[in-house]
Structure 1
Amino acid sequence: MATKIDYYEILEVTRTVSSDELKKAYRKLAMKYHPDRNPGDEAAEAKFKEINQAYDVLKDEQKRAAYDRFGHAAFENGGGGGPGGFDFNGFGGGGGLGDIFEQMFGDMMGGRRGGGRARTGNDIQTHVEITLEEAFTGVKKDVKIITRVACDSCHGTGSNAGESGVETCPSCHGAGKVRAQQGFFVVERPCPTCHGAGRVVKDPCKACHGEGTVEKERTLAVQIPAGVEDGTRIRITGEGESGGQGVPAGDLYVHVSVSEHGLFQRDGANIYCRVPLRMGQAALGTEIEVPVIDGNRAKVKIPAGTQTGAHFRLRGKGFSVLRSSARGDMYIQVTVETPQHLNKRQKELLEEFEKEAGENVKGSPEHTGFFARVRDFFENKG
């Protein structure tokens, strides 16, 4: 059996990585190995699947804790590992320890409370990148996936003769699972004859070799809602791999990445925009026009004497809130820019200004206060 690669190694992070750092590492690798960027590269496609599998486990606190303690054994045979690789789910249909007691006492109490977990096709995952504007408005994106679908030749039956060539499994009588007594336990396992399908094929289809499914590339239109955040995973029920005749398809999980923007930084429902001001604008006061994420513009009045780090709030001009008509706020972050490459006249004016400002201690209270504390510091040292 091949050695399984450590999930932390796959994502190129340490075991102490924070959730934010983990997300950044995943996003970087997912973009690098995405099938759309590496058409026809099977190695990149396999790497992309490994990256998604590793991130799916490590981003979940409970799954990560189980993985840190038990490694890959925590998720073998359906998950829920225990010490030394012991897996409660190995006893049956993946229901865990509770199902063991159901299996022990179910017949005595008139049958189990409910059937085992329904069989479905495999889930698949893919990745899509959108702009900040698209995340604000919501967008429909076409995604390409390689998945297993029902075979056209046999219509998903797996038999050349269609339904007439498929029989109920003689071992499990169509149940797909068999029971066996092990001491005090009644254990259910997938039927070894039909491998859980409940049916056997006499004359296998040549196109799908009796599986009922074939691999095919599909393009799906995925609706991404307004307000979606970077790292969101969207589940599309029934768009995963086909499970074969009579078995529901699995689900498709779309991992969404939101690209960085040249003007705006998002924090939840709020948006921040950094605006540099000339020294004269900050000193004298001014009115500026700033862009808004929805494509409009807004005017902001800057009072005289504004300092670097000042914030101005524009209510309701921020980001969309998921599944809501509300919006967050927009914050203008001011930085005062020192002029460079001055001409002779500009230098003369600044020298005059500096001479005048030096005599006006009220004009620069922070500057005056700081150097007063410096003077006191050295006097106390002396």
Structure 2
Amino acid sequence: MTKHACDKINRRLSVAPMMDWTDTHCRALHRVISRNTLLYTEMVTAPALVHGDGARLLAFNTGEHPVALQIGGSNPAELAEATRMGVDAGYDEVNLNVGCPSDRVQSGRFGAVLMQEPELVAECVSAMISAAGDIEVTVKCRIGVDDQNPDDVLPDFLKIVSGAGVKSFAIHARKAWLQGLSPKQNRDVPPLDYPLVHRMKTEFPDLEIAINGGIETLADAQAHLDQGLDGVMIGRAAYHRPMQVLAQADALFGDAQPPKSAGQVIEEFLPYIEAHLGAGGRLNQITRHMLGLFAGETGARHWKRYLSDHAHLEGAGVDTLRAAYEQVQIAQERQRKIA
């Protein structure tokens, strides 16, 4: 059991689980930027963990704590075993995905399609909770799917699933359309219904409710917290503009330490990069997550271009990263002289 197991996780701000994005390198970077933000893995299916290469799929750096494992599935026994594996691996939380709308997920009877089967979700989380010991099991869901009426479906879902023991929900404030929209469109096209999520906190005051979907800034996050929600989950904005979101995030947790600069983040991240390269990894496996480090700043275009052109080359190392940063510094110095 990890030493983090009995600690109460602070979910005031978290980075959403995102397929192909929130891998261990991404999370390691985000942890350098923010000391307190809760991080999530990409979704991994219970069958893949139980019947596949579980050790590889569960591997993460201990510096990522607090970090949660997100699992997809609908077989209670498999989910229980996957949960035990996640707990043994040292994760601080295990989250069940009831929100992903992809065709692959639907065909496997998990993800957002489970919004139509709250009793099965309750059975699943009950098994997971029994397997989790001191680690909390949480749920990430939508407000409904297809032609469901969210005003009816969401409260029923929360009542049934919380009755099985789940006390913390992250709610993506959009429906998922299982037919007719791609996963990408499902992130943008269905309208947001923030007031419904806020009403759920009023109707279920004993539940921990975090909101997800379309939240772009820390000011937006603070507004939701000020209105009574327990947490905010930010996805693409935290990934594409990490310094604008995560560097300022620790203030939400009462952390008085000053935010880091992008230059400080690069320097602090170098030992991790060197260890990855020393183990036979490639630079671009990490730098693909760093392209937005200077988003909105002078030199951002030079940074992205240099890394895109050089980080994938054979032998690329920390000198490549330093050279990219030098391009930023030159652009910023040029801008200061103009100003």
Normalised TM-score (structure 2): 0.22
Normalised TM-score (structure 1): 0.20
Instruction: Mark the structure with the bigger radius of gyration.
Output: 1
Structure having the higher helix fraction is 2
Higher RCO (C-alpha 8 Å, min separation 6): 2
